[in-house]
Structure 1
């Protein structure tokens, strides 16, 4: 009679299983517990079934670990993507010079209803003072040459200031476009990477499921053999 390499007890006839007939994964699991176990040694069907259960459990736990790893990679990818889009406006504002800040504020004020109302109010007050209050000796009589000079100077100064602000706005738009490009590029790379990971996981899962089915088939074959004997 054969002797079990695990329990060191004699094996009943028909209950012996040779090492070379055991699947690779289960054989390696047995060998991890009994390093001197080789292909020529024997174990019982009950002992083999015990290691089959342990092997199936290890496959399931390994699968859970791989899914958790994928989930963590997804979260890290999402967090890395958000870093690119943080504080874009603060970075742009931090690069402004004093002159650019003044140009932006003047352009913003010059394009508001406050400036329009204040501008026309100033013109009306100027005219009223020179027509009614200083009718005998106005400092800027009709046709208000001094007022025209002031308005011409204001327009001459305001135009380049507005152009400076517009150039600055174009620079801001260009920087935002660069940030958008970087974000889109990183998102594309992350999607591609995650797609490859998912494809790898699916292929790996199919292999694991096939291996589990093969072990289950071995279980059924052993059960059929036992039923035939009885």
Structure 2
């Protein structure tokens, strides 16, 4: 089937479905775009992985085994150096995780707002389609009424022509 010029007018223009989200793309990286920001985000994401937890468990186990077994004595029993390492890790991890959560909340809020705008746009488009459909229905009803009127006029004219034909036939015959 070949498309005509009217078919193009009937089709809706293609819309950018991400148009409401594009304003918030600057929120995509958690800590920004710089080298440090990307490394900080990767580090914050790494804290919650099984690989990190397994690696940390392995390091702590080796640390304690080396110091308790007597192989080395760089951090004897109350493991003050190990506690200091954990405190240092917590001092860096907590702010990074909180910052990541804050930025994620900002991204979630921005995406929710963009989704709401998108839903509103869809609702407006749906209302417009319904209005156009109602207008078309009204137009169809008017056209059917006009067709009915024309059919009645045609019937009346046909009956009148038949009557005149009969009268003319009587006068001529």
Q: How does the TM-score come out when normalised to structure 1?
A: 0.60
Matched, 1:119 2:56: yes
Give the Cα separation in 1 of the matches to 2:107 and 2:124: 26
CA displacement 1:77-136 (0-9 Å, x = unmatched): xx326253677886643683334433332222111111111111000111122233535x
Residues 81, 186 of structure 1: 8 Å contact kept:
no
Matched, 1:97 2:36: no
Secondary structure of 1:211's counterpart equals helix
Matched, 1:178 2:113: yes
Residues 67, 74 of structure 2: 8 Å contact kept:
yes
Matched, 1:134 2:71: yes
Can you give the 5+ residue segments of structure 1 that lack an aligned partner in the other structure? 1-64
Query: How big is the shift at 1:163?
Result: 0.3
Question: What does residue range 32-51 of structure 1 map to in structure 2 within 5 Å?
Answer: none
Give the Cα separation in 1 of the matches to 2:48 and 2:29: 24
Which structure has the larger Rg? 1
Matched, 1:188 2:123: yes
Residues 103, 161 of structure 1: 8 Å contact kept:
yes
Q: Give the number of equivalent residue pairs.
A: 158
Residues 142, 129 of structure 1: CA spacing in aligned structure 2 closer, same or farther, 3 A cutoff? same
Which one of the candidate residues 47, 59, 63 is aligned to 1:110? 47
Residues 109, 171 of structure 1: CA spacing in aligned structure 2 closer, same or farther, 3 A cutoff? same
Query: How big is the shift at 1:70?
Result: 8.0
